[in-house]
Amino acid sequence: MMARKKKNKKSVHKKRPALRKKSKPLRKKPGHKKPAHKKPAHKKIVRKKSSPKKIRRGGAPQSVVLPVRQLSQPAKNISSYDVVLHNFDIAAAKLQLSEELKQLIKTPDRELRVELPIIMDDGKLNTFIGYRVQHNNARGPNKGGIRYHADVDLDEVRALASLMTWKTAIVDIPFGGAKGGITVDPKQLSLGELERLTRVFTQKIDCVIGPSEDIPAPDVNTNAQVMSWMMDQYSRRHGHTPAVVTGKPLELGGSAGREEATGRGVCIALREASKSFKLDLRKAAVAIQGFGNVGSHTARILEEEFGVKVVGVSDVKGGVYNPRGIRCKDAMEHVLETGSVVGLKGAAKITNAELLELKCDVLIPAAMGGQLHARNADRVKAKLIVEAANGPTTYEADEIFAAKKIPVIPDIYANAGGVTVSYFEWAQNLQQFRWDYQRVVAELEKIMTTSYAEVMKSTEKYNVSIRIGAFILAVDRVAKATKLRGI
Ligand code: NAD
């Protein structure tokens, strides 16, 4: 591992001074405040040292209620990175990792911030900021999506990169974890501006990506077209290299089944969880927040293949509700025509807040992080939560759900179907060979069901919440790989 890191530093730092060394992390020091133009600074979390109090869920594995704060206290501003570190710390403590090893695998391996100047359609110069964070590559090349969103900042990208490390470890595919993003609202850009921005970003992160270094993929507001531009830009310098990104269109070496893969994985996760928690899916009502790639495919597959009634869906503009069930294909067509689920015929308009609090059996957050928090978790009525989005639940909300005996199937397992089929795509590209759709679905099914059993085994063994059980499984695998390679 040492030799690998040295090689990276040499080849990259010589040419790219913008790249930060691990010894000078960009992470905020205690007391650090974000610049005024950014979102409000996140308060530092004070964790009590007393041992966690356990409560028992009926028939289900025990969950842990962490004494982070009294639930009656006002909610803090908790960043997504705080949440990931919090869960990591609990898992590392359960595994009794040494302090040195814990520090090594807790924080990102490399963080790159890049300026992205582009000429806008009106001839003016505009400079955007982009990031690529590589969290850990002990188990294989870094892997993770690219997000285009106005709220993207280094803290969020770090959190998402870290989640990728644990996710790839849980489904046991040979990758580490990374994430990237650009602080931009892509809806304000023309197609040409979006392409120029993507190409400049690819050029600027070219020094740290590659089929055996780091393989980006789509995330919020990026898609197969963005991946095509990235693949093309990288290939101009390195020769035709489809394996540098996944989530490409089929015409450029994409995999059958990749677009729906995250949604299909969420459906498998829900099906497996429904067995553990004795929920009859054929009688269940499901609400889904977010109707983009993940949310819409989850809804469609649940309705068409699993016979599940989807009663509510939403997107950034609002939501719709029909207690008799929404026809997901109609909703998808409505989104194509109008850009939103709002206004769908035969369904009542609701807000996003109302969607999260709907009377339903299963809630699937499939939009942005931090949607379930101390201020709304108490009003959630679902009997089961399956996290399709990354980081939708703060640890304060986790405490509340544990107290209400609502099991949460965590993101690092539940939405791993996307990166799993990305792994299939990467493997197909390297072998210059194609799998058919049936094979992709069958292999995904195998990995998601095996991983569910392993997550639940870890949960039961350590007598913890499912999220912490999943973290323990993942941190243990990464720690073992790190030790075997040599620190
Ligand atoms: P997307 O851009 O295709 O869709 C995002 C959806 O969320 C849209 O419907 C959007 O309108 C909605 N949305 C955005 N902000 C919202 C808000 N504040 N309230 C309600 N709805 C809001 O993105 P996606 O690829 O579907 O990703 C959704 C989530 O799933 C993200 O958290 C992402 O990190 C996670 N995820 C995606 C993949 C993947 O393969 N695309 C894989 C794993 C996890």
Quick one: pLDDT at residue 76? 53
Test site for ligand 1: of 316, 344, 372, 411, most ligand atoms within 8 A of the Cβ: 316
Q: Could you tell me if 218 and 280 lie in one domain?
A: no
Alpha helices in 190-260 (DSSP H): 191-205, 224-238
DSSP-derived letter for residue 122 is: T
Do 310 and 371 lie in one domain? The reply is: yes
Measured from the CB, is residue 152 less than 6 Å from ligand 1?
no
Q: CATH number, domain at 182?
A: 3.40.50.10860
Q: Measure 315 CA to ligand 1 centroid, in angstroms.
A: 9
Asked if residue 262 has its Cβ within 6 Å of ligand 1, the reply is yes
For position 79, what pLDDT does the model report? 87
280 & 353 share domain: yes
Residue 100 counted as domain residue: no
Query: Is the same domain home to 366 and 289?
Result: yes
**Residue that is last in its domain, among 351, 379, 414:** 414
Q: Which residue out of 83, 368, 411 has the highest number of ligand 1 atoms within 8 Å of its CB and is therefore the one to mutate? A: 368
Domain shared by 167 and 299, yes or no: no
Same domain membership, residue 403 and residue 280: yes
pTM: 0.85
Q: Does residue 415's CB lie within 6 angstroms of at least one atom of ligand 1?
A: yes
**Nearest CA, atom 14, ligand 1:** 316
Distance 280 CA to ligand 1 centre (A): 27
292 lines ligand 1 (CB under 6 A): yes
Residues of the chain with pLDDT > 70, as a percent, come to 84
Give the DSSP letter string of 10-24: HHHHTT-TTSBPTTS
Going by the DSSP 8-state scheme, the letter that residue 372 receives in this structure is B
Which atom in ligand 1 lies closest to the alpha carbon of residue 415?
43
Q: Where would I find the H helices in 1-64?
A: 2-13
State which ligand 1 atom lies nearest to the alpha carbon of 390. Answer: 32
The reported pLDDT for the residue numbered 78 is: 77
Separation of CA 2 and ligand 1 centre (Å): 37
CATH number for 287: 3.40.50.720
Q: Residue 485: inside a domain, yes or no?
A: no
* Residue whose CA lies nearest to ligand 1 atom number 5: 292
Q: Ligand 1: which atom is nearest the Cα of residue 335? A: 9
Q: Is 265 within the bounds of a domain?
A: yes
Q: Is 289 in the pocket of ligand 1 (CB under 6 A)?
A: yes
Instruction: Tell me the residue ranges of DSSP E strands in 290-410.
Output: 309-315, 318-321, 348-350, 362-365, 384-386, 408-409
Residue owning the nearest CA to atom 41 of ligand 1: 219
Tell me which of 315, 332, 393 to substitute to probe ligand 1's pocket, judged by most ligand atoms within 8 Å of the beta carbon: 315
Nearest Cα neighbor of 306 from 264, 260, 259 is: 264
Beta bridge partners of 179: 133
**Structural domain span for residue 229:** 108-241
Rg of the Cα atoms in the chain: 21
Residue 166, ligand 1, Cβ within 6 A: no
Type and span of the H or E element at 118: strand 110-119
Please say if 22 is a catalytic residue.
Answer: no
d(CA 220, ligand 1 centre) in Å? 5
User: What is the residue with the minimal CA distance to atom 27 of ligand 1?
Assistant: 220
Same domain flag for 406 and 266? yes
- Check whether residue 268 and residue 189 sit in a common domain: no
167, 179, 204, 248: the active-site residue: 179
Residue 129 dihedral angles phi and psi, to the nearest 5°: -115, 135
Nearest CA to ligand 1 atom 13: 316
Q: Is the CB of 291 under 6 A from ligand 1?
A: yes
In angstroms, rounded to a whole number, what is the distance separating the alpha carbons of residues 412 and 124?
A: 41
Instruction: Let me know if residue 232 belongs to a domain.
Output: yes
Give the number of other Cβ atoms within 10 Å of residue 58's Cβ.
Answer: 7
In a shared domain, residues 185 and 230: yes
For atom 39 of ligand 1, the residue with the nearest CA is: 219
Quick one: pLDDT at residue 188? 97
Give per-10-residue mean pLDDT for the chain (487 aa).
37 34 36 38 36 32 34 56 95 97 96 98 98 98 98 97 98 98 98 98 98 97 98 98 98 97 98 97 97 97 97 98 96 97 97 97 97 97 98 95 98 98 98 97 98 98 98 98 91
Residues 120 and 156 in one domain: yes
Instruction: Convert the pLDDT of each residue in 113-166 to its tens digit.
Output: 999 999 999 999 999 999 999 999 999 999 999 999 999 999 999 999 999 999
Q: 172 exposed, middle or buried (CB, 10 Å; 0-12, 13-18, 19+)?
A: middle
DSSP output for 166-203 = HHHHHTT-S--EEEEEEE--GGGS-HHHHHHHHHHHHH
Whether 294 lines ligand 1, by a CB cut-off of 6 Å, is yes
Write down the residue that tokens 């060979």 correspond to. Answer: 433
Mutate to test the pocket of ligand 1, among 152, 156, 294, 313 (most ligand atoms within 8 A of CB): 294
Minimum CA distance residue for ligand 1 atom 19 = 316
Instruction: Give a yes or no: residue 91 inside a domain.
Output: no
Q: What is the pLDDT of residue 32?
A: 39
Shortest-distance Cα residue to atom 4 of ligand 1:
292
CA of 289 to the centre of ligand 1 (A): 9
Tell whether 330 is covered by a domain.
yes
Q: Which two three-digit tokens encode residue 59?
A: 């028939």
- Whether residue 179 is found in the same domain as residue 217: yes
| 157 CA → ligand 1 middle, Å | 15
Structural domain count, the chain: 2
Atom 42 of ligand 1, residue of closest alpha carbon = 418
CB 42 within 8 A of CB 82: yes
Are 322 and 397 in the same domain? yes
Question: What token pair was written down for 270?
Answer: 């829900």
Q: Which of 354, 388, 414 is a domain's end point?
A: 414
Tell how far the Cα of 155 is from the centroid of ligand 1, in angstroms: 18
Final residue of a structural domain among 372, 393, 414: 414
